Amino acid sequence: MAAPPILLLQDIRLGFGTTPLLAGATLSVSPGERLALIGRNGSGKSTLLKIAAGLAQPDGGSRFVQPGATLRYLEQEPDLSAYANVLTYVEAGLAPGDDPYRAHYLLEQLGLTGEEQPANLSGGEARRAALARALAPLPDILLLDEPTNHLDLPAIEWLEGEIGAMRSALVLISHDRRFLSSMTREMVWLDRGTTRRLARGFAHFETWRDEVLEQEEREAHKLDRQIAREEDWMRYGVTARRKRNVRRVAELAGLRQQRRERRAAQGGVRMAAAEGEASGTLVIAAEGIGKSYNGRAVVRDFSTRVIRGDRVGIVGPNGAGKTTLLSMLTGVLAPDEGEVRLGTNLEMVTLDQKREALDGALGVAETLTGKRGDQVWVNGQPRHVIGYMKDFLFLPEQARTPVSALSGGERGRLLLARAFATPSNLLVLDEPTNDLDLETLDLLQEQIADYAGTVIVVSHDRDFLDRVCTNVIAWEGEGRWQDYPGGYSDMVAQRGHGVRARAEAGKPAATTPKPAAKPDAAPARKKLSFKDQHELDTLPAKMRKLEAEAARLREILADPGLYTRDRARFDKASELLARSEASLAEAEERWLELEMLREDAAG
């Protein structure tokens, strides 16, 4: 027999405007239960969690918490302004008899000292302080709203171990699939104001959701057919028994009302990246690059090559220099030493993690159109901005909503909408998964998989990295970075551990060391011949000449009247451009082959 609930919400109703946000939602939490609260952005998950925490009042329904049960809630935007410092704030969440040392321990694990002043905290630091306050008393019930936001990979993996060792019941909202799968054992799906529950792990969510929606479609089809039959009877049926007829008319009115009140499942996000011309085969070549700040090496002697079609992930703890490395690889920041060479014909679009590219004063439609009319150009075709907004789950009435009034998830979708409307062959994504719901994440992953260009992504989302990356560049400590083939799990398998915190980077991996190979067992390295070395030395100049020639021909062909004015010149320039681009691609392939041979020979 199941234990009685220590937290129970029944028939919770709450409305904003004409459409109810919550329409009879329920939530039952028994001791030790681990629940994932799942739903789209804007479905009311955070609101339901606030009601469970007693911080918001519904329009109707009931809330019960077992007397004596302790409950702690992690909100997305905590307020520390009433406290002298972070330690005081965390200790204020302790109950009599709780261990005061635990506050110090949690703050240290989350990268805080406790002496920080609330006025000087960043959003991420305030969130980590709030997480320490929620975990410190070892409560009976933990209500966590996006606890992994602003945490790096070492902190996320530490948090998994910390919560896993606790006996608290848990209700968790998160976009991190790996975290949801490891932390929860049952699901509560909030959809169109009501809740459904399944006593299975998060790995079964998508199959369950699809089955529910397919059943709804079948029932809706049956309802429509029944209404059609009743309408046909009203027009052509026998009217001998007036009493029966009145009843059937009333039944038909009820069916029509049922159809009007039926809340259809919200449409999905439709993403299609506007792809530019193909880039050269070699997209980025970095040779021995380095960067230091105040005497500390952020990047040290790093070399890599990014080939067209690669999906490169960059991982490391906060402060390791991921964004610095990304900026150097994309030519935004010059290295202190070494060289970065960008390939030909690159059209780069960047999605920054701080959403700084958005102007808070502009409306949604103005942001997408650039304040130029009411159309968005996608893949060379005009789209009305309202229709394009709907593809990313924005309502028509949000067209003039200022960006500053949007939620974090809505701003993330707006950035994606703008990025995918811009022609590109290189997508640079810095923490693209922040604040996105699971269905939008699925579609983003599919879009990246179908994208014909190259993708570089910085992310702390392990599942996302596994799904999209062909190779991962990982921080090894003291400014050293290493390129691993495969996704995040492949990287862990190769190096024996995940991403470590900066303070632990120098520690050896907790794996059994392999015996060193004997000197005479090493394969002989092939050396560059004189001819190969000469070719390697002269290829860069040849590639620059071919790039300049291709640019000159593109400029000629850019003349819109050339085709009608001088057809022969147009055909000749087109032929020469095709030859130049083919020669350039061949030269890049040969240069890459010789460079790899040179590195192998150097050992």
3-state SS assignment for residue 60: strand
Q: In terms of domains, do 407 and 309 share one?
A: yes
Q: Domain of 61?
A: 7-69+140-207
- Please check whether residues 448 and 408 belong to one and the same domain: yes
Point out which residues pair with 313 in neighbouring strands.
457, 472
* Residue 99: inside a domain: no
Count each helix (H run) and each strand (E run) in the chain, helices first: 18, 20
pLDDT at 581: 77
- How far apart CA 602 and CA 596 sit, in angstroms, is 10
Q: 164 and 294: one domain?
A: no
Within-domain flag for 386: yes
Residues making up the binding site: 39-46, 316-323
Same domain, 489 and 535: no
Name which of 39, 33, 20 is nearest 143 in CA terms: 33
* Strands 480-485 and 282-293, sheet pairing: unpaired
User: Within this chain, do residues 496 and 570 fall inside the same structural domain, yes or no?
Assistant: no
Q: Are residues 435 and 331 part of one domain?
A: yes
Greatest extent of the chain over all pairs of C-alpha atoms, in Å: 105
Whether 194 and 313 share a structural domain: no
Note the pLDDT of residue 201: 83
Q: Does a structural domain hold residue 81?
A: no
Alpha helix segments (H runs only) across 307-421: 322-329, 364-369, 385-391, 408-420
- In this structure, the chain runs to a length of 603
In a domain, 230, yes or no: no
Domain end residue (candidates: 191, 207, 223): 207
Q: 456 near 306, Cβ under 8 Å?
A: yes
| Structure-block tokens of residue 278 | 């193909």
Residue 516: inside a domain, yes or no?
no
Task: Give the type of residue at 262.
Answer: R
Contacts of 57 (CB under 8 A, 6+ apart): 51
Beta bridge partners of 149: none
Burial of 63 (0-12, 13-18, 19+ CB in 10 A): middle
**CATH code for the domain of 584:** 1.10.287.380
Residues of the chain with pLDDT under 70: 1-2, 17-19, 221, 223, 227-279, 352-357, 379-380, 408, 502-530, 599-603
CATH (domain of 177) = 3.40.50.300
pLDDT digits (tens, 9 = 90+) for 557-580: 877 778 778 878 887 888 888 788
Q: Residue 299's pLDDT is what?
A: 94
Which residues belong to the annotated binding site for ATP?
39-46, 316-323
Q: Which of 470, 505, 540 is the last residue of a domain?
A: 505
DSSP 191-231: ETTEEEEESS-GGGHHHHHHHHHHHHHHHHHHHHHHHHHHH
Cβ neighbours around 266 below 10 Å, total: 13
Between CA 432 and CA 469 the distance in angstroms is: 14
Across the strands, what pairs with 427?
349, 455
- The two tokens of residue 330 are 């994309």
Residue 403 within a domain? yes
pLDDT at position 518: 37
> Do 175 and 433 form a contact (C-beta atoms < 8 A)?
yes
- Residue 461, classified by CB atoms within 10 Å of its CB into exposed (0-12), middle (13-18) or buried (19+), is buried
Burial (CB count <10 Å: 0-12, 13-18, 19+), residue 365 = buried
Residue 541 lies in a domain: yes
Do 42 and 146 share a domain, yes or no? yes
Shared domain for 486 and 568, answered yes or no, is no
Residues 336 and 476 in one domain: yes
- Residue 57 in any domain: the answer is yes
Residue 546 near residue 576, CB atoms below 8 Å: no
The pLDDT of residue 325 is 94
pLDDT digits (tens, 9 = 90+) for 416-439: 888 778 788 898 988 888 777 777
The sign of the CA dihedral 71, 61, 50, 443 is: positive
**Degrees to nearest 5, angle at CA 200 with 196 and 205:** 65
Beta-bridged to residue 311, according to DSSP, are 455
Domain count, the chain: 3
Q: List CB contacts of 213: < 8 A, sequence separation 6 or more.
A: 265
DSSP string, 359-378: -TTSBHHHHHHTTSTTEEEE
* Last residue of one domain, picked from the residues 165, 186, 207: 207
Report the amino acid identity of residue 514. K
Q: Is residue 378 domain-shared with residue 415, that is, in the same domain?
A: yes
Give the Cβ contact number of residue 342 at 10 Å: 18
Residues 301 and 168 in one domain: no
pLDDT of residue 227: 66
Question: Taking a C-beta distance cutoff of 8 angstroms, is the pair 444, 452 a contact?
Answer: no
pLDDT at position 319 is 81
**Considering the entire predicted model, what is its pTM?**
0.68
8 Å CB contact between 368 and 418: yes
The whole-number pLDDT of residue 511 equals 40
